[in-house]
Structure 1
Amino acid sequence: MSAMSGVPTVVVPDSVRFKAACPDCRERFELTAGAIRLAVGASRRTTFYSFTCPECGSAVRKPAGERIVELLTRGGVRTLRLHSSL
């Protein structure tokens, strides 16, 4: 709780950093939550996270299992829920 206002202090998502690597240029770096997008689909094939490599500019897309989804969500990464149409 904030001593001044009595309002709980909220951690800003961009203060959380995630380690990542680019499969194209092989660089390793850290990304803020705002630099990553998470898409959660109905299956493993449609659940992934993506970002743009800050070194080479490549669009990177990697699969996200349950643990990765949990970590990214808790870290403040914006999540897109994908719905399948029948």
Structure 2
Amino acid sequence: MPGIAAPSTGPVLFKAACPDCQSGVELAAGSLRLAIGASRRTTFYSFTCPACGAAVRKPAGERIVELLTGGGVRTLRLHSTL
């Protein structure tokens, strides 16, 4: 799966890539945030790149949501107000 993966043993570290500096980084669950919206377009994860300091926001499909929530990443559920 491109973008993010979690190892199966040891402390949970997630691998991600920064689109700004092109660095591959490993992030602990506390360094990531997951936002789950009503659609694919409003469901994403975000982090600050430890290599360059850029704020990174990437879409999160169903599998990524499962990996992140299972790994203890803080989750925010977005609700639409109509």
Report the TM-score when normalising by structure 1.
0.82
Say whether 1:18 aligns with 2:28.
no
Report how many aligned residue pairs link the two structures.
72
Percent of aligned pairs with the same amino acid: 81
After superposition, where does 1:1-86 map in structure 2 within 5 Å? 15-86=11-82
Between structure 1 and structure 2, the one with the greater Rg is 1
Stretches of structure 2 lacking an aligned partner (at least 5 in a row): 1-10
Stretches of structure 1 lacking an aligned partner (at least 5 in a row): 1-14
- Cα distance in 1 for partners of 2:25, 2:37 equals 27
RMSD: 0.5
SS in 1 for 2:15: strand
Cα deviation, 1:45-68, whole Å, max 9, x if unaligned, reads 100000000000000000000000
Write out the 4+ residue segments of structure 1 that deviate beyond 4 Å after TM superposition. Answer: none
